[in-house]
Structure 1
Amino acid sequence: MVAALYLAEKYTERESSYPHYITVLNLTDIEFPITFKNISKFERLNMVSINVYGIENKQVLSLWLTDDKKEKHINLLYLQDSHNDNLGHFACIKNLSRLMSSQITRKKNKNFLRSKINDCANRLPSKNDKWLEFGNHCNKERVPFIVYADLECILRKTESEDNALSYVYQRHEALSTGYYVRCAYDDTLSSNSVDEGCIRWFAQQLNDLAHRVKNIISANVPMETLSKQQWEAYCSATRCHICEKPFAPDDTRVRDHCHLTGRYRGPAHSNCNLNYKNSFYIPIVFHNLSSYDAHFIIKEIATAYEGHVV
């Protein structure tokens, strides 16, 4: 402990290079030889935090991890006495990375271990909650509207300046833009268009589309009247059609329907039905956007109208 807290500049192997432990450590009510049960008390008395590691089958294992890592932190290695099973020795670990590197990688490069290993806790799932499951059930529905678009360009020759040693002899110029709006539930609301007005025209088209779609999605179409077969299926249903889990005796069961068409979709838990919402975003699938087309259109789209591009 003293060697870790008071580093010696030279002769680190000599006891005389360090202050005597009685003069620098508070050992009130500490029993000797010190055991693991005394570590917490030692930490509080000396305002330090301690991690203890051991070696088993040539693997470094954690034997004690502090609950409150402090500015003064020490890593110790606990070694069992080869002649006495009831006796062990603590040694200061100067470089934990070097000690553990052989079991992490065969390379001789330096390994950086997490310095805040004690600031987190392992929380294991219980027997009743041990499976990962899909929770964003609203993503099971198709988005009401989606746009597929593409941009075509040409190479326009440029004139060189007088006495110029080098110049840009060609520049890319947007020529035309085409897009297709697909409605998932009504083909009459789908459309496509191509125009040579290009970027400004395309930005205005998206603006107009956003306003049209907002008016359509904001409408709440009442649920259609259920047929006899639908009523019978609803009353006899044992599972929610959204989360696909069974209904419990005390669950509130509701009739889920599409607010855009009024179509009955199936029986559902009340909470599932409330969270099963339509998307208010219009995805735009743009061919080769990130590699080329983006610099032609992003500035115009981002500044042409209110709202934001995700």
Structure 2
Amino acid sequence: MTLLCKFKRIHPSVDEEEVEFMETTEQYFNSSLKIILSPLYINRIFCDMVNQIDNNVEIFERNGSGWILDEVKGCDIRTAQFEILKGGCSCIIPSHLKNKNAIVNPDNKENDCFVLAFLICMHGDSVDNRHRGIISQYEKFKTHYDFSSLKFPTSLKDIIAFEKRHKHIKIGINVFGIDQEEQLNVLRLTPHANSRTHKIVYIQDAFKQHGHYMSILNFSRLINRQGHHRKFVCYNCLNTFGDEKRLDSHQQLCFEFKTQKVSVPSVVDGKIPFCSFESKKLSNKLKCNFVIYGDFEAMLTDDNTSTTSIDKHKISGYNLAVIGPNKKLVHISKYRGPNSIDKFIDEESASESQVNLQASFCIQRNKIHIAMKQLSLEEEYDFSMADSCHICEHDFDHQSIKVRDHDHNTGLFRGAAHRECNAS
């Protein structure tokens, strides 16, 4: 659920000659994703979503420097069919993963692939390394565990129950999946940090109802894209690190958030499309009134702590410039000497205070953003005939909301745009 709210706040007059004015802004508030498994839960879950958004609005008003809710401009509720993950049958390992020799595929015909994948993780070192996928080798180990709570095909809910049933031997099970682009992602992480963790991958067959569980015996080799050196992997975001110390430092912050995976745009013809200046009309972007430019200078020094011959950059100075409205130079300075970082932070704070004073003056002068002026007949015709957004250059479709974009400083019409592009 997404709520579009309009807030306002009053700027009181500084002296008797000035008149107080009102400033407005719009803000989106989103609820978390909810899974509804029965119609009986709809009302309760809907109330939870409403309460969550109400709390977010209250937090914004409390921390937003005087903002007050003025009106609710829109509400968007989106639903999608939820498919419960279940593993059974058999499946083929994608070729780019199979060649890494990090996954063992249980060669079974029944729906108990999770049981076999788990046994391979637990006892794969006790059998012939060349034939780890032969399931008959693991029959003798089945009596060591209680599989009575599992249903076949096995869902993530069943895996959680199985893990709790065996908490006395400290078993943790992480489940990873393969998305449509055949990239690894996180489906489930064990909450037991001190347990013996086993890694299982779930692969969905496009032509079958259920997927297939397989064992991951070398996660570093599976996720490593280049080279053969061992990598230390953060299971929460799937980032890799060269040593365990860096991994521990990263995980202290990473595990405060939900599982996630960093994704970057693919390079096409040597360029990143999203970041390419050629694919974006920069002239259609609203420019900031103030911009701070900082440029550091560094010297190369020998790094005696490294085992390889490398040079270390040591900061020796900086240049700082603040550009204001109409490309006017507001502040400029430079420094060369020791403690450059501390000097830069102190001066940046002083520059920020100077920028705030000038920004307050601009707000008092302009009072509020200039409303859009009435469109001419030619501009109305251009808007009605526009079939693509003049900001992102993507076409309008049946779900797009086409709006009129204007310059907030002049009030002049700039072109037709998506509502999302116009608000960003």
TM-score by length of 2: 0.29
Q: Which has the larger radius of gyration?
A: 1
- TM-score, length-normalised on structure 1? 0.37
The structure, 1 or 2, with the larger RCO (C-alpha pairs under 8 Å, 6+ apart) is: 1
